Structure 1
Amino acid sequence: MYSFRPSSSSLFVAMVVSLVCLCAREVVSDHGLSAAWLSCVPRELYRPLLDASLSQCRPLAIGDLVQRWPERTLSIRGRSKHDHKPPNRLCVQALLLAVVRGLTDERCCLQVLDLCGLQCEDGRSEDIMGGWSLTVALCSTLLQARNVTAASRSRRDGREKKKRGMEIERQRDGAVKRDRAGLKKKEDGEKMDCGGNTAPERAIKTPAEENVKGVRRRMELQRRSGAQLQEIPSREDVLVDVRADLFVNARSWERVRSALKLSGPLRLHCRFLRVEELPASSIISLLHLLPQEELLGLDLRYSSLGVSGLALLLPHLAPFSRLSSLRLHYCNLDMQRVRPGQQEALQEVSRGLGGLKRLRRLSLTALRLPGHLRLLLSSLSEPLEALELPYLSLTSGDVAYLSRSPHASSLTELDLSENRLDESSLHSLRHLLTRAEPCLSRLSLCGCGLSDGPLGHLLPALGQCHALRSLRLALNPLSRAALVELARAAAGIGSLRLLLYPNPLEEYEPGLPPLPSSAQLLDWPLIEESEVKEVTLMQLDEILRAKGRTQDLLLTSDLMKYSTDLAMDD
């Protein structure tokens, strides 16, 4: 008998899992054979077969597997981020259709379908279903499921009604035959008693008596039939809970609202809700249809709420006991333009934020609230773990407050991009980094106007952030020499996995102002000669080699294609 050490045992298990995956891919490779192998596949192999079908885009196999899913729960969000890509549109549609068919299939045990995190918003592939398309498809599936089960129930009721009618007819015919036989027997006995000289008197029932007897018999048969039906629960009565992240805008709002109000065999649950282009009243009516114990995050984008609209909305979020993330992007909260009643409404916003007791992530993008950060954040009962404040027009007083606030020592993610950080803000920013050093893992200072001098003052504090995994400094006016110093400091942070650096000023065409803005750096053309860029890349590569970081640290200036997942990998 062989004995395995722990390392050998783990390797053996990994080999078995890999072999199962390879076999599953081969089994699902032929669309036409699923009916043959499903008849003899044990329930333990359904998951590997479904994973293979999703990765190999086998919609027919997906439909056959999900229609007779042998377990109570089916989770598609459990697919690893190391997989090649999420399931494409055709596979998701096949899965949803199979869930509907499984409602009337006695072999299906599905009760919970988890699609959270399934949608893809990066736009890299046209075949991948986005959040809006998936939300609309789910709403259509709910309506289709109700229609299918209603039709199935109608057919079943028709069959039962016909069966009960036939049984009543048989009982009635039998009773008539028994009555006739008894009457004939009685007549024969009376003839024998009377010697055949006198005709017997026959008991003749009135039509009313016959009707009463028939009604009683039918009621008794229906009672017995109903008792038999209650003993066997039907598959149509089983409720399947569908959990998903929903994306709602002005085009789909009415459809999603109707689906959430719909009663049927499928019930829609929402984990994260993303809303675009909707007024506060429509958002509130949508929130009233969501279970208060399930919503974890709300993302509001491109909705002209204004300060008054946000003040009206926030109290309706307080009942959601698990809400931990709130994102407000481009919601037209411009405090740079003075309007009557604006300050009072902002006070209401502050009180509304204070009512969100579980809030840990707050994102305020392009709201233009200079000098009001203390008012907004001081009302929170617990410190934040993630704070995103891009395009907020922060003042030096805002940065000073943030560096002294209770949030500074608990932040794991901080985004101050596109806020001009001048000399008056540097001391507060260094103090903020010092306080956040034990836990800060992601930092973004893109487009903050950091030139060579200010960045040099920040590098010592950045070098002490030993938990930092992602550092983004794109669109800052740095020279090549300053960039080299930045790369050297980044390579000394052992936990860092991604550095998004700015193109040095030497790589731009002549004509830039001495301290260009981020918009100018974004629009100004780069020098086309490859030799200029190669000088920068060569110097950065030498730093990585000297520090032994060529394999685990990515240095890039590409704003469009860098992967944020690299910052989160172990």
Structure 2
Amino acid sequence: MVLSLVNLCAKEVVSDYSSSRCWLGTVPRELYGPLLEAALSYCRPLAIGDLVQRWPERTLAVGKKRRPGQTPPNRLCVQALLLAVVRGLAEKRCALQVLDLCGLQSEDECVEDSMGGWSLTVSLCSMVLQAKVAAQKGVRKDGERERKRGLETERNRDGAVKRDRGSGGRDMEVEKAREEEKEGGKGVKVDCLRGLWVEEGEEAVMGVRRRMEMQKRNGTVDLEGGSSDPDSNPNPVLVHIWADLFVNARSWERVRGALTSQGPLRLHCRYLRVEELQAPSVAALLSLLPKQGLLGLDIRYSSLGVSGLALLLPLLAPFPHLHSLKLHYCNLDLLRAVPGQDGALKDMSQGLGGLKGLRQLCLTALRLPGHLRLLLSSLSQPLEVLELPYLSLTPADLAYLSCSPHASSLQRLDLSENRLDESSLPSLRRLFSQAALSLSQLSLCGCGLSDGLLGALLPSLSCCRALQTLRLALNPLSLAGLLSLVRTATSIPSLRLLQYPNPLEEYEAGLPPVPSSAQLLDWPLAEEAEVREAILFQLEELVRQSGRSRDLLLTSDLLNFTKDLLEVE
């Protein structure tokens, strides 16, 4: 990618940190953005700290400004940015009020020294809690200064009063007060040390009153004069932070502390991912989130069961903007009958029906055969993304899906690892026909599609004129079936990526006639490179003859297949 002149100049400026003190005082506010982008791209943490600490704009969005193919900032740069936000709270030149870090985390383990979602979440929560402690220390210091100033003023006033009064006059006033008390007068207490009169039932000591007023303003006492919790009178929020949070059992307590913190930094969540948490813990976490901000929830590797999901789904209804729900490996195995299971399923269906803004639903390895109608029919709006890998779908499930309101609005569909046979073909044809104008991504990996089954589906697939990605890895295709697939793929103008399965001719001898996806995954490929090279040459020749060699990518890489099923979008 060709960089603009501004970006090239920004790179040179931030590369020389020794001169930053000079140019920071004169640089226009419009150049802070390019300078920060260059500092993040070329790992200049000191420049990042200076720029963010003096950020001139109200909003700073970091995670969404990465260019395609650009790697995320490394760990040191992110830590420098977070530290600068805290320091900027005391900087008069910093105008920052909203910090958007959504999308900043890196889930790609191949990126060296990057900060993943869990590490970023822990760092954010630590920053919020540290800012609160620093603010409380500042309040205590201000209160101590005010207290000392009040005591000094009181001493000066008392000295002046004592000088104005004579020792004789003071003795006469004290003696007069004693005589009035003996005669049963109004009842006055005498403070002989200070020379002040305090009427019974009324406190008139000005020094104490001033200290009380200062303590009330600082939130250290309540209206009755007793001690109170500093959180009962929180400091105003100076910076609102939006981020995607990743919570598990190790970070749960810290995240809860940050979300309940009432300091100068307020943490908000846009996409929440939780792992290995029980349903009550997830419910408690949801209760701490603001209702207007959450867009997506991703629950993974948690033993929720049907009853746990029935408990959680109604708690999602108050989030009006929630449009994405992902449930991966949450132990919903309905192949085994459990008492009360039908009632919990109905509760789960009603809970899904309460999610009025839901557009994306991903259910991985929940094994819900025959229950797709019960789950999806309760939704008030059609889905745009539906991912159902490892769900043990039945022909009845596919028949419902092909006739449902969701079929014509689907943009992404994943039916991977659901065994398909001839009884499923009519429903699949009808489904592809309904989704022909909207479907852009389709995954049928590991579905047991042989040459005959796939050949029956290819005419329907060729009608999907919006299809951009087609994944068919781990299906038992011969070389003839693979060549037929590539010919169909080249005839779809919108298609940009075809993930094809290795043909059976590339494997070592001994495979069953119709191998499963697990057998194809574990079976070794033939060691003869000539076979693979010859097959690859035929595929490339077909693409070249169709004129699609520049805009259509063919791959048999299984890493993408695994990543699609297990990684966050």
Same fold per TM (> 0.5)? yes
Give the aligned residue type for 1:50: L
Per the TM alignment, residue 20 of structure 1 is displaced from its structure 2 partner at its CA by: 1.2
* Mapping for residues 122-271 of structure 1, pairs under 5 Å: 122-167=108-153, 179=164, 210-211=195-196, 237-271=236-270
Query: Which residue is equivalent to 1:415?
Result: 414
* Mapping for residues 309-458 of structure 1, pairs under 5 Å: 309-458=308-457
Query: Which residue is equivalent to 1:94?
Result: 80
Note if 1:63 corresponds to 2:49.
yes
Do the aligned residues in 2 keep the contact of 1:100 with 1:148 (CA within 8 Å)?
no
Instruction: Tell me how far apart the structure 1 counterparts of residues 206 and 299 of structure 2 sit (CA, whole Å).
Output: 64
Give the aligned residue type for 1:422: D
Do the aligned residues in 1 keep the contact of 2:297 with 2:324 (CA within 8 Å)?
yes
Give the aligned residue type for 2:494: S
Change in 2 beyond 3 A, CA 1:68/1:236: farther
Give the aligned residue type for 1:331: C
Note if 1:475 corresponds to 2:474.
yes
Per the TM alignment, residue 239 of structure 1 is displaced from its structure 2 partner at its CA by: 2.5
Per the TM alignment, residue 166 of structure 1 is displaced from its structure 2 partner at its CA by: 4.4
Gaps of 5+ in 2: 175-190, 219-233, 565-569
Do the aligned residues in 2 keep the contact of 1:360 with 1:385 (CA within 8 Å)?
yes
Change in 2 beyond 3 A, CA 1:152/1:514: same
Per the TM alignment, residue 460 of structure 1 is displaced from its structure 2 partner at its CA by: 1.0
Query: Which residue is equivalent to 2:34?
Result: 48
Give the aligned residue type for 1:22: L
Per the TM alignment, residue 156 of structure 1 is displaced from its structure 2 partner at its CA by: 2.7
Do the aligned residues in 2 keep the contact of 1:103 with 1:236 (CA within 8 Å)?
no
Instruction: Tell me how far apart the structure 1 counterparts of residues 540 and 329 of structure 2 sit (CA, whole Å).
Output: 39
Change in 2 beyond 3 A, CA 1:345/1:393: same
Q: Which SS does the other structure have where 1:414 is aligned?
A: strand
Change in 2 beyond 3 A, CA 1:407/1:156: same
Instruction: Tell me how far apart the structure 1 counterparts of residues 279 and 560 of structure 2 sit (CA, whole Å).
Output: 35
Per the TM alignment, residue 498 of structure 1 is displaced from its structure 2 partner at its CA by: 0.8
Change in 2 beyond 3 A, CA 1:158/1:43: farther
Change in 2 beyond 3 A, CA 1:107/1:168: farther
Query: Which residue is equivalent to 1:488?
Result: 487
Q: Which SS does the other structure have where 1:560 is aligned?
A: helix
Per the TM alignment, residue 155 of structure 1 is displaced from its structure 2 partner at its CA by: 2.3
Provide Cα deviations, 1:46-81, integer angstroms capped at 9, x if missing partner.
111111111111111111111121111111122234
Instruction: Tell me how far apart the structure 1 counterparts of residues 110 and 104 of structure 2 sit (CA, whole Å).
Output: 15
Instruction: Tell me how far apart the structure 2 counterparts of residues 237 and 417 of structure 1 sit (CA, whole Å).
Output: 50
* Count of aligned positions: 527
Instruction: Tell me how far apart the structure 2 counterparts of residues 399 and 225 of structure 1 sit (CA, whole Å).
Output: 70
Instruction: Tell me how far apart the structure 1 counterparts of residues 513 and 213 of structure 2 sit (CA, whole Å).
Output: 93
Give the aligned residue type for 2:49: G
Give the aligned residue type for 1:387: L
Give the aligned residue type for 2:77: C
Instruction: Tell me how far apart the structure 2 counterparts of residues 65 and 87 of structure 1 sit (CA, whole Å).
Output: 15
* Mapping for residues 467-546 of structure 1, pairs under 5 Å: 467-546=466-545
Per the TM alignment, residue 202 of structure 1 is displaced from its structure 2 partner at its CA by: 11
Query: Which residue is equivalent to 2:8?
Result: 22
Instruction: Tell me how far apart the structure 2 counterparts of residues 344 and 81 of structure 1 sit (CA, whole Å).
Output: 49
Per the TM alignment, residue 31 of structure 1 is displaced from its structure 2 partner at its CA by: 3.1
Per the TM alignment, residue 480 of structure 1 is displaced from its structure 2 partner at its CA by: 1.3
Give the aligned residue type for 2:296: G
Provide Cα deviations, 1:350-379, integer angstroms capped at 9, x if missing partner.
111111111111111111111111111111
Per the TM alignment, residue 30 of structure 1 is displaced from its structure 2 partner at its CA by: 2.4
Change in 2 beyond 3 A, CA 1:201/1:487: closer
Query: Which residue is equivalent to 1:10?
Result: none
Instruction: Tell me how far apart the structure 1 counterparts of residues 154 and 529 of structure 2 sit (CA, whole Å).
Output: 92
Provide Cα deviations, 1:302-336, integer angstroms capped at 9, x if missing partner.
11111111112211111111111111111111111
Instruction: Tell me how far apart the structure 1 counterparts of residues 554 and 108 of structure 2 sit (CA, whole Å).
Output: 21
Instruction: Tell me how far apart the structure 2 counterparts of residues 79 and 40 of structure 1 sit (CA, whole Å).
Output: 25
Q: Bigger shift: 550-559 or 76-85?
A: 76-85
Query: Which residue is equivalent to 2:283?
Result: 284
Do the aligned residues in 2 keep the contact of 1:303 with 1:330 (CA within 8 Å)?
yes
Instruction: Tell me how far apart the structure 2 counterparts of residues 58 and 139 of structure 1 sit (CA, whole Å).
Output: 24
Instruction: Tell me how far apart the structure 2 counterparts of residues 323 and 216 of structure 1 sit (CA, whole Å).
Output: 57
* Mapping for residues 102-121 of structure 1, pairs under 5 Å: 102-121=88-107
Which TM-score applies when normalising by structure 2? 0.86
Per the TM alignment, residue 217 of structure 1 is displaced from its structure 2 partner at its CA by: 6.8
Which TM-score applies when normalising by structure 1? 0.86
Per the TM alignment, residue 561 of structure 1 is displaced from its structure 2 partner at its CA by: 5.2
Do the aligned residues in 1 keep the contact of 2:71 with 2:111 (CA within 8 Å)?
no
Change in 2 beyond 3 A, CA 1:20/1:210: farther
Instruction: Tell me how far apart the structure 2 counterparts of residues 204 and 67 of structure 1 sit (CA, whole Å).
Output: 65
Instruction: Tell me how far apart the structure 2 counterparts of residues 75 and 158 of structure 1 sit (CA, whole Å).
Output: 38
Do the aligned residues in 1 keep the contact of 2:473 with 2:561 (CA within 8 Å)?
no
Choose the corresponding residue for 2:25, options 25, 35, 39. Answer: 39
Do the aligned residues in 1 keep the contact of 2:384 with 2:412 (CA within 8 Å)?
yes
* Mapping for residues 297-312 of structure 1, pairs under 5 Å: 297-312=296-311
Provide Cα deviations, 1:493-545, integer angstroms capped at 9, x if missing partner.
11111111101111111111111100000000011222111112211211222
Instruction: Tell me how far apart the structure 2 counterparts of residues 312 and 220 of structure 1 sit (CA, whole Å).
Output: 52
Instruction: Tell me how far apart the structure 1 counterparts of residues 208 and 342 of structure 2 sit (CA, whole Å).
Output: 72
Provide Cα deviations, 1:373-404, integer angstroms capped at 9, x if missing partner.
11111111111111000000011111111111
Choose the corresponding residue for 2:64, options 53, 78, 101. Answer: 78
Do the aligned residues in 2 keep the contact of 1:366 with 1:391 (CA within 8 Å)?
yes
Give the aligned residue type for 1:244: A
Change in 2 beyond 3 A, CA 1:222/1:151: closer
Instruction: Tell me how far apart the structure 1 counterparts of residues 213 and 340 of structure 2 sit (CA, whole Å).
Output: 71
Give the aligned residue type for 2:90: T
Q: Which SS does the other structure have where 2:266 is aligned?
A: strand
Instruction: Tell me how far apart the structure 1 counterparts of residues 170 and 259 of structure 2 sit (CA, whole Å).
Output: 67
CA RMSD between the two structures: 2.9
Q: Bigger shift: 149-158 or 391-400?
A: 149-158
Do the aligned residues in 2 keep the contact of 1:450 with 1:477 (CA within 8 Å)?
yes
Query: Which residue is equivalent to 1:6?
Result: none
Per the TM alignment, residue 37 of structure 1 is displaced from its structure 2 partner at its CA by: 2.0
Query: Which residue is equivalent to 1:293?
Result: 292
Per the TM alignment, residue 343 of structure 1 is displaced from its structure 2 partner at its CA by: 1.7
Gaps of 5+ in 1: 1-13, 184-199, 230-234, 566-570
Q: Which SS does the other structure have where 1:28 is aligned?
A: helix
Per the TM alignment, residue 172 of structure 1 is displaced from its structure 2 partner at its CA by: 6.1
Change in 2 beyond 3 A, CA 1:34/1:159: farther
Instruction: Tell me how far apart the structure 2 counterparts of residues 512 and 486 of structure 1 sit (CA, whole Å).
Output: 22
Q: Which SS does the other structure have where 1:300 is aligned?
A: strand
Give the aligned residue type for 2:371: H
Change in 2 beyond 3 A, CA 1:400/1:483: same
Q: How high is the sequence identity, in percent, across the aligned residues?
A: 64
Give the aligned residue type for 1:494: P
Change in 2 beyond 3 A, CA 1:400/1:561: closer
Q: Which SS does the other structure have where 2:144 is aligned?
A: helix
Per the TM alignment, residue 564 of structure 1 is displaced from its structure 2 partner at its CA by: 8.9
Instruction: Tell me how far apart the structure 2 counterparts of residues 449 and 43 of structure 1 sit (CA, whole Å).
Output: 59
Do the aligned residues in 1 keep the contact of 2:66 with 2:72 (CA within 8 Å)?
no
Query: Which residue is equivalent to 1:274?
Result: 273
Instruction: Tell me how far apart the structure 1 counterparts of residues 214 and 370 of structure 2 sit (CA, whole Å).
Output: 75
